[in-house]
Structure 1
Amino acid sequence: MQKYRFNGDFPVDHLNNMTIQSAFAGLTAAIGHLYDAREAANIGHLLMEHITGLGKLDRIVHKDGDLTPAQEDLYQQSLAALLAQKPIQHITGKSWFYGLELLVSDQVLIPRPETEELVEWILKDHPSQPAWRLLDIGTGSGCIPIALKKHWPAADIWAMDVSPGAISLATRNASLQHTPIRFVQQDVLSPDASKVLPSLNIIISNPPYIPETERADMQALVTAFEPSVALFVPDSDPLLFYRRIALLALEKLETGGKLYFEIHESFGQEVMSLLEKEGYAEVQLRQDMFGKDRMVRAVKK
């Protein structure tokens, strides 16, 4: 692979040693057409920490230090991946969620800030740290149950996902975070999905909810690198998972138990109507930090 040096905004031949400062400048310039300046800088800092093992302050102090040949090779490989629109989290293998560093891969969705808001809602609803039984359906990286277990160590937390790769990664994350969680590989759409589950006080899910017709309008770093099974639903039945999980929750939630969903911004009213039709009480819709309908909570009568 042809290697380049970056001097300001322009690539030049590989002549001089690459310093930490020039590497960062070259990286942000190279990806500037893909991201705005702030996001490019954030990506640059994440990648340079991954390559050098140094935090931002140490990189400032040692800005004129040369990258080693191994670090330079990793830099070039990572830059090529970024230009192919691979997410920075897949390059570093890590992502942050609710103050926790988690492993990620192409087997799971990269945790989103909107999902942090869902966790925040749940925790604020129950400030007494209850010793309850909880289930997260479609757990992916395990970000939701791990964050909740950190705050509710006495809770008995279960997590389900159809993907063996997701279950494997989530199990590793739970081990690294010292958060014992009961993981179950199961398709929630299966008629047998509830058989292994106990009675529950809370069920949470951020299920697939993007209609297939929206795929073409999405960024390549999402559609090419994140698992489609965790993203898309048939155009003919966009509420497929909400309907199934609502029925499972009627079977497994104790009276007064709560169901929390992350939702597609366009289907807030539809999800609320579905839950009300199934007999849930106190159905509430909440917006995210961007003012979009994003979360629904309901109570089993």
Structure 2
Amino acid sequence: MTIKEFKNNFIYQLSPVYPQTEIDTFFFYLIEEYLNLQRIDITLQPNFEISSENETLLNKALARLKKEEPIQYILGKTEFYGLPFHVNRHTLIPRPETEELVEWIISEVKEIRTNNQTKSLSILDIGTGSGCIPISLKVNIDNSTICAIDVSEEALKIAKHNSDLNNSLVQFLNLDILKADSLNVFTKKTTSDEIIKFNIIVSNPPYVRNLEKIEIKNNVLQNEPHLALFVEDDNPLIFYTKIADLAKKHLSSDGFLFFEINQYLGSQTVGMLHQKGFKNIELRKDLFGNNRMIKANL
């Protein structure tokens, strides 16, 4: 089969499911991954013969796409903040909105260091998933100690692999944040009453209410881990409330708390933080115009 023949069949098979622009993107991703050809190569060599082995791989990928499986899971990888990350069904696929959150944190760090370039920073990411937030921060913030936790041991396996992939030293720990009384698990001083402190605590926890499932596309709903996505309708801020309580104990006096949030619960999340004594609370919109990020301090 030639590339041209495969492309025609690819478009025919996927047209009932995806828009043309998305189909084209999938096609080029797969051709580059399995045939190591770029777009210009495809244009110049439409009659390039695909080997039977590669044809089998491409058709398997096509079958998975027809079932609305994310292309990132099919390829087993994606890109976040300019860095490579491996993903699977145990991890969420990193979103552009989360890149904005990372950018905000990095900008804040630059401002913090305006008068003190050598200041060492300690950062904690709660609910790390693929590790995209802490790894991106570690790569881009010098002189930083970064820790990350997740309830899923399978997700942490991927996060640790991604840390090695990007040559970043991040300390990962398996922990159910809802059952944690403190974050002193990161210190070896088990006999000390000293409370470990972080300059920055960041979290992109589960925040999609069950009632919002009707808004979620099938490729997400049927494939990405619900554990990392959904919360009960009657307590949608359960993770934010718990993390805020822990942050009151473990955030340094000049530290910051960053959240990615549910776009529909911006005012409620801000109100909760006010109630718990946080100050200078800033609610920021994402590139799509939705309330998506919060920064606060004590």
Same fold (TM over 0.5): yes
Using CA pairs under 8 Å that are at least 6 residues apart, name the structure with larger relative contact order, 1 or 2: 2
Quick check: 1:229 aligned with 2:227?
Answer: yes
Residue 137 of structure 1 aligns with which residue?
126
Which ranges of structure 2 fall in alignment gaps of 5 or more residues? 187-195
Residue 243 of structure 2 aligns with which residue?
245
For residues 28 and 190 of structure 1, what CA distance do their matches in structure 2 show?
49
Q: CA RMSD in A?
A: 1.5
Q: CA deviation at 1:75?
A: 1.1
Q: CA deviation at 1:204?
A: 0.6
Residue 69 of structure 2 aligns with which residue?
86
Q: Is the 8 A contact 1:24 1:45 kept in 2?
A: no
Residue 204 of structure 1 aligns with which residue?
202
Q: Which runs of 4+ in 1 moved over 6 A?
A: none
State the number of aligned residues: 283
Q: Is the 8 A contact 2:181 2:246 kept in 1?
A: no
Residue 169 of structure 1 aligns with which residue?
158
Going by fraction, where is helix more abundant, 1 or 2?
2
Question: Within 5 Å, which residues of 2 pair with 1:185-196?
Answer: 185-196=174-185
Residue 65 of structure 1 aligns with which residue?
48
Amino acid at match of 1:288: D
For residues 150 and 168 of structure 1, what CA distance do their matches in structure 2 show?
19
Please state whether the residue corresponding to 1:260 is helix, strand or coil. strand
Residue 269 of structure 2 aligns with which residue?
271
Please report the TM-score for the alignment, with normalisation by the length of structure 2: 0.91
Cα-to-partner distance string for 1:83-136 (whole Å, 9 max, x where unaligned): 001100010001110111110000000000010010111111122475300011
Residue 23 of structure 2 aligns with which residue?
40
Amino acid at match of 1:21: K
Residue 105 of structure 2 aligns with which residue?
122
Cα-to-partner distance string for 1:215-246 (whole Å, 9 max, x where unaligned): 24422211111100000001110000000000
Residue 6 of structure 1 aligns with which residue?
none
Q: CA deviation at 1:164?
A: 0.3
* Identity of matched residues, %: 39
Q: CA deviation at 1:66?
A: 0.9
Q: CA deviation at 1:272?
A: 0.5
